[in-house]
Amino acid sequence: MKKLIFGYGETGKAVEQFFINNKIDFEIYDDNISNFNRDITDNLMEYDEVIISPGIPPDNVLLSKIKSQNLNISTDLDLFFRYNDKNIKIIGITGTNGKTSFVNIVKEFLEKNGHKAISSGNIGTSPLNSINKDFEYLVLELSSYQLHYSKNLSLDFGVVLNIASDHLDWHGNFKNYLEAKSKIIKFTKKNNILVYSDLIREFANYETKKNVNADYSSLENIDTPFSNELLVPFLDLIYLLDLNIENIEEACHNFLVGLEQLEHRYERIKFKGNIKFINDSKATNFHAVTNAINRSKNIILILHGLTKNIPSEELKLTSDVKKIIVQSEMKLNFNQFYGKIIKYESINEIKNLIKSEMQEGDTVLFSCGGASFNDFKNYKERGNFFKKIVNEIESET
């Protein structure tokens, strides 16, 4: 019998190449690609397994028919764990905000301390692409979509970072989102899971074992682009990995102070005047925006994008927020905000709005609180747009 690859994005293409390499018979289906969107509803019993891409929403019509036929549904991650026979340590990372940054610096730390490591998963590439490569550690970013569909992952270590409302348009409600995220606990070896969300602990009825009891006092107040919310989980994980580094505290300190600026993640843009411009385009939900606010003073906050059904109450404004420039279609409730609110229809208006509102000592914080897809291909394109207009503002003032 054949396998069905459902969805032909990056994940589907990785599964395709894996099946070709292993001489496994398969077909491809994708709703949005004319070559692959034929009607297969009467032929579902030809397949013994469906490999689903994480972006396929649970209410997809074909998916409902696949489930009604009780076909086995797997992910590229399931395939990786099924076929991987190398002795490697696998670290799974999930959370609402900061996953990609966290994965990148864990991988970088391992490499700088003599270990072969790769990153994969939601960060942009399937682990199937690395199944025959030589490495010691796989740092796997796990989205709620991937966890929702995956069944048989086996993680040596797991980390649950912060949890807040996100992707509620996809999951349907917050309970379903929590259910997906909490699956990492059962996928991780006992006593090797670090959970930093009370919401997940309560939902999964999970009590965190005190795996790590390190004193991080010498590592406090380090000047690093890495947010404080992620600093302790990073240090906890490095200590838990037991990497046999002679002076682990010194190694962590030297690594953290040497971290480079992360693009589109609370990225300070060079500007000649006494005004800070922060590109935080990666902040696609209100929890991320709140973190950015807490790192800033004298704020002109710029919001943009699709809010994914997240309640506006989750945006926690402080007295440092003086003005909000917000896209009209976001329809947010600012009844408890007493500063100035400026609405715009087109993203192209914000340059002139910034020029008219900014003052010496301000922080212009482009921390969007929504997905970018209404105006841009992704958050990177949106962040680059903001950096471009900041450069224009500098040249015009």
pLDDT digits (tens, 9 = 90+) for 128-139: 999 988 999 999
| Whole-number pLDDT of residue 128 | 97
> Within this chain, do residues 47 and 158 fall inside the same structural domain, yes or no?
no
Same domain, 291 and 376: yes
**44 is a domain residue:** yes
Tell me which residue has tokens 């009844």: 335
* CATH code (residue 23): 3.40.50.720
Give 37 or 278, the one with higher predicted confidence: 278
Q: Which of 237, 257, 277 is the last residue of a domain?
A: 257
Q: Do residues 101 and 195 both lie within one domain?
A: yes
Residue with tokens 């450069």: 391
Q: Where are the alpha helices (DSSP H) in 1-70?
A: 10-21, 61-68
* 68 shares a domain with 88: no
Number of domains in the chain: 3
Residues ≥6 apart with Cβ < 8 Å to 190: none
Which segments of 130-247 does DSSP mark as H helices, in order?
A: 144-149, 168-171, 174-187, 198-204, 228-241
Query: What integer pLDDT is reported at residue 218 of this predicted model?
Result: 64
Shared domain check, 232 and 324: no
% of the chain exceeding 90 in pLDDT: 71
Contact predicate 38/49, CB 8 Å: no
Give the model's pLDDT for residue 34: 87
Q: What is the pLDDT of residues 330-384, one digit of tens each?
A: 989 898 898 999 999 999 999 999 999 999 999 999 999 999 999 999 999 999 9
pLDDT for the residue 170: 81
Residue 142 backbone dihedrals phi, psi, to 5 degrees: -115, 115
- Distance (Å, whole) CA 220 – CA 292: 19
CA 334 to chain centre: 27
What's residue 219's pLDDT? 67
CATH label of the domain that carries residue 367: 3.90.190.20
User: Domain of 151?
Assistant: 79-257
My answer on whether 326 and 355 are in the same domain is yes
* Domain match, 156 and 282 both: no
Residue 111 included in any domain = yes
Residues in CB range of 57: below 8 A, 6 or more apart: 63, 170
User: Which residue, 43, 74, 105, sits at the end of a domain?
Assistant: 74
The answer to the question of residue 262 being in a domain is no
DSSP E strands in 53-188: the ranges are 73-74, 89-94, 117-121, 137-141, 157-160
pLDDT exceeds 90 at position 108: yes
**Residue 138 in domain:** yes
Q: How far apart are CA 203 and CA 212, in angstroms?
A: 23
* Whole-number Cα distances in Å, 87 to 31, 92, 135, 137: 38, 16, 9, 9
Q: How far apart are CA 292 and CA 188, in angstroms?
A: 31
* Residue 15 placed within a domain: yes
Name the pLDDT band for 178 (thresholds 50, 70, 90): very high
Retrieve residue 198's tokens. 């009370």
Distance (Å, rounded) from C-alpha 130 to C-alpha 123?
Answer: 14
Q: CB-hemisphere CA count at 13 Å for 314?
A: 18
- As a whole number, the mean pLDDT across the chain is 91
What is the average per-residue pLDDT within 161-187? 87
Q: What angle do CA 365, 370, 376 make, to 5 degrees?
A: 90
Higher-scoring residue by pLDDT: 207, 112: 112
Answer yes or no: do 67 and 155 share one domain: no
239 shares a domain with 90: yes
Q: Is 310 helix (H, G, I), strand (E, B) or coil?
A: coil
Two structure tokens written together for 206: 């999970």
Cα–chain center distance at 259: 19
Q: Is the distance from CB of 155 to CB of 173 less than 8 angstroms? A: no
Residues 100 and 210 both lie in one domain: yes
pLDDT tier at 296, thresholds 50, 70, 90: very high
Task: Indicate the residue type of 263.
Answer: E
pLDDT for the residue 214: 60
Which of 230, 257, 284 terminates a domain? The answer is 257
Task: Tell me whether residue 29 is in a domain.
Answer: yes
Radius of gyration over every alpha carbon of the chain, rounded to an integer in angstroms? 22
The answer to whether residue 221 scores a pLDDT higher than 70 is: no
The rounded distance, in Å, linking the Cα atoms of 15 and 20 is 9
Quickly state the pLDDT bin for 267 (edges 50, 70, 90). very high
Mean pLDDT computed over 194-220: 73
pLDDT greater than 60 at residue 212: no
Does residue 111 sit in the same domain as residue 6?
no
Q: Measure the CA–CA gap between 83 and 80, rounded to whole angstroms.
A: 5
pLDDT (tens digit per residue) in 18-53: 999 999 999 999 998 988 989 999 999 999 999 999
One domain, residues 64 and 198: no
Tell me, what's the pLDDT at 261? 81
> What's 150's domain CATH number?
3.40.1190.10
